[in-house]
Amino acid sequence: MEVQIDPHTLERAGERGTNKEEIKDVINTGFSLPAKHGRMRKAKVYSFNQERHGKYYEQKRVEVVHIIDRDIIVTVTVYVFYGKWREENADSI
């Protein structure tokens, strides 16, 4: 299925520490989570092992909220969380 990344999502991605490639990877290979208002949400945990805003983090978790419109996946927004998860499909923060 085609993935259309909304400009709002790309703007938030840059601010929050992810990119277009990770967004597509999350949609294609991430695990599903509950979402509100008829939307869908997928997440994936990545190794990070670097500092962000002066603090070291082992992992980051990218969550993409999206809808499906006429066989096209359209992103709504993206969230990025930093920390350490025991399992790659850990519950939402």
* pLDDT band (50, 70, 90) for residue 90: low
pLDDT per position as a tens digit, 36-56: 999 999 999 999 999 999 999
Please report, for the chain, the start and end positions of each structural domain, with discontinuous segments joined by +. 2-83
Q: Fold for domain 2-83? A: YaeB-like fold (3.30.2310)
Rounded distance, CA 29 to CA 10, Å?
19
The pTM of the whole model exceeds 0.75 = yes
Residue 1: pLDDT above 90? no
- Which whole number is the average pLDDT over 11-25? 97
Kindly state the tokens that stand for 8. 């709002």
Q: How many CB atoms lie within 10 A of CB 71?
A: 7
Block residue for tokens 């500092």: 51
